[in-house]
């Protein structure tokens, strides 16, 4: 398997490419308020791409209604498209999920998800771009 080719840009370059909400979430480790971002209630079939670099990260196939107000998935489309990092901010110990290609902050993963993986990838809607199936 080929290693994923990284996309590296400066903060100023990302800021020019992204909306202020996307930039704050994906490049500055922000969290959008629950039920306020895009995609949490998206139910159509399709792919969820990284809002920064366009890499397909999640699919409607693994999306589920977590009731949290953030788009939630049981698994990424492939194990190597996202990377886990320990996050000890806000007096909590959580696992941060980043896009492997461009290191965008996507959200966190928790082990209280449904079958079959038992994982809950709790993502920020602003970090993902929804591409409907067939488009």
Binding-site ranges for Zn ion (CB under 5 A): 50, 52-53, 99, 101-102, 104
CB of 80 to Zn ion, least distance (A): 13
CB of 26 to Zn ion, least distance (A): 8
**Sign of the alpha-carbon dihedral angle for 77, 94, 123, 112:** positive
122 included as an active-site residue = yes
Residue with Cβ nearer Zn ion (14 or 70) = 14
CB of 3 to Zn ion, least distance (A): 15
Q: Supply the residues annotated as catalytic.
A: 122
């Amino acid at each position: 398997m080929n290693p994923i080719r990284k996309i590296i840009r400066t903060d100023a370059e990302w800021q020019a490419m992204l909306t202020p909400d996307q930039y704050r979430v994906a490049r500055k480790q922000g969290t959008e308020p629950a039920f306020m971002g895009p995609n949490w209630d998206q139910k159509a079939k399709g792919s969820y791409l990284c809002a920064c670099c366009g890499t397909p990260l999640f699919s409607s196939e693994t999306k589920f209604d977590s009731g949290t107000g953030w788009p939630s998935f049981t698994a990424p489309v492939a194990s190597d498209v996202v990377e886990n990092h320990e996050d000890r901010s806000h007096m909590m110990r959580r696992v941060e999920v980043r896009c492997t290609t461009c290191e965008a902050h996507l959200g966190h993963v928790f082990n209280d998800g449904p079958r079959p993986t038992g994982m809950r990838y709790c993502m920020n809607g602003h970090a993902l771009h929804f591409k409907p199936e067939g488009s």
